[in-house]
Chains A and B, each alone.
Chain A
Amino acid sequence: DAGVTQSPTHLIKTRGQQVTLRCSPKSGHDTVSWYQQALGQGPQFIFQYYEEEERQRGNFPDRFSGHQFPNYSSELNVNALLLGDSALYLCASSYGLVAKNIQYFGAGTRLSVL
């Protein structure tokens, strides 16, 4: 049973560019959350998708957008990249909205903005 998978593992972009990160949830999971983790900090919640809709959003600008597909996989898009967007981007999946809040994380995508 595959866990949460993310691609790519590493990515290098320049300021002003756009990037798309991808996530496949754990088998049987239908909810996907995205987090940003700067060096030396804990992960910060970006947003969550359920039934192909953005259900909840953290304190991130609308340069950060996402999408969930019918197979529950998800994409995170970041436009007009800034140097400060350099971070580890984590995807987490869970099942439903009423289950206790156990989220399963992928290994992340390391984004470097030059």
Chain B
Amino acid sequence: DAKTTQPPSMDCAEGRAANLPCNHSTISGNEYVYWYRQIHSQGPQYIIHGLKNNETNEMASLIITEDRKSSTLILPHATLRDTAVYYCIVSPGGADGLTFGKGTHLIIQP
């Protein structure tokens, strides 16, 4: 079973920041938090990952709470092309198979 909990769906207005929450209260000390997204009819796409510090790249920012039991993915200026299912995954930093849950269906409204 997936070790994360995400809301099934969220809406966000175009141009606003989209904040996607994830609970992972049973995360182990050696597990990373990864975010992938899947646009309709495509394979999942890697977005960002982190261990305990906040991370930022050209796509998004990842905020991890100090106790590491939850995190938030932030898309700073959402566009219509960001409409997708977003998956939060916890996994050791190796090459193991990923355990996906059902994710959050983010819908960007014009």
Name A residues whose Cβ lies closer than 8 Å to a Cβ of B.
4, 31, 33, 35, 40-45, 47-48, 50, 56, 58, 90, 92, 94, 96-108
Contact = CB atoms under 8 A, between A and B. Distances in A.
B100 A94 contact: no
Contacts of A33: 97-98
A105 B45 contact: yes
Given A48-B95, A50-B95, A90 B43 contact: yes
| Interface SS of chain A | loop
Interface in B53-110: 85, 87, 91-103
B56 to A, nearest CB: 16
Contacts, number: 70
A42 B87 contact: yes
B88 to A, nearest CB: 11
Interface residues of B, number: 25
Q: Name the residue among A41, A43, A104 with the largest chain B CB count within 10 angstroms.
A: A43
26 contacts: A4-B43, A31-B95, A33-B97, A33-B98, A35-B97, A40-B102, A42-B85, A42-B87, A42-B100, A42-B102, A44-B100, A45-B97, A45-B99, A48-B97, A50-B95, A56-B96, A56-B97, A96-B95, A97-B94, A97-B95, A98-B95, A101-B32, A101-B96, A102-B49, A106-B43, A108-B43
Given A31-B95, A48-B95, 20 more contacts: A35-B97, A41-B102, A43-B44, A43-B100, A45-B98, A47-B97, A50-B95, A92-B44, A96-B95, A97-B94, A97-B95, A98-B95, A100-B49, A101-B34, A101-B49, A102-B49, A104-B46, A105-B43, A105-B45, A108-B43
Contacts of B91: 101
B43 A107 contact: yes
